[in-house]
Amino acid sequence: MDENRTLDVLKEAILLEKRGRAFYQNVADQTPNGAVKAFFVYMAEEEKKHVEILSEQFRAFESHQKFQAADFSEDASDATPDRVLSEEIKRKISAADFEAAAISAAMGMEERAIKLYSERAKSASDPNEKAVYAWLTDWERGHLRLLEGLERELTEKVWHDNRFWPF
């Protein structure tokens, strides 16, 4: 295992998650609607958890040159509860509003995280490192599915409202 490369990936991952948290928190701070704000705060808190996990692994690897075993029993595929995407949120976000643009930008961030984590999960030789990155990949895929679903519903609403349907 290349120690420098492992630390570099951890640094990149921590930075990626910190940027995601800052982005989601910024959107939450700027939106006036309580339900929409709660959604973006939820996403910021998710990213904060990832920063904490990665920071722990960074300290462990820096000290002992290996990842620490962790409990990844929480189902990452169900990381984004249905309660987060309430009908109120769907009604309050217009496909042309700031929040909708933020959703589109957030999808790109989540895709970047998935790529980084899934590639590292494949290439890592340490089983604990593989587990960390596989787990984070699943979490980020859950976030991406949530954002894609919300974007799809917003797009269909605009199509419907503007009579863009071909039938």
Is the model's pLDDT at 81 over the cut of 50? no
Instruction: State the pLDDT at residue 93.
Output: 66
Instruction: State the pLDDT at residue 135.
Output: 94
Instruction: State the pLDDT at residue 156.
Output: 74
**Residue with the larger pLDDT of the pair 139 and 84:** 139
**Residue with the larger pLDDT of the pair 32 and 126:** 126
**Residue with the larger pLDDT of the pair 86 and 4:** 4
Instruction: State the pLDDT at residue 167.
Output: 56
Q: For the chain, give the mean pLDDT.
A: 85
Under 8 Å between Cβ of 80 and 142: yes
Q: What CATH number matches the domain at 3-161, 3.40.50.1970, 2.60.40.10, 1.20.1260.10, 3.40.630.10?
A: 1.20.1260.10
Instruction: State the pLDDT at residue 82.
Output: 53
The least confident of 27-36, 51-60, 62-71 is 27-36
> What percentage of the chain exceeds 90 in pLDDT?
56
pTM of the complete model: 0.83
pLDDT tens column, 141-167: 999 998 898 888 777 776 766 666 665
Is the model's pLDDT at 3 over the cut of 60? yes
3-state secondary structure the chain: CCHHHHHHHHHHHHHHHHHHHHHHHHHHHHCCCHHHHHHHHHHHHHHHHHHHHHHHHHHHHHHHCCCCCCCCCCCHHHCCCHHHCCHHHHHHCCCCCHHHHHHHHHHHHHHHHHHHHHHHHHHCCCHHHHHHHHHHHHHHHHHHHHHHHHHHHHHHHHHHHCCCCCC
pLDDT band at 79 (very low <50, low <70, confident <90, very high): very low
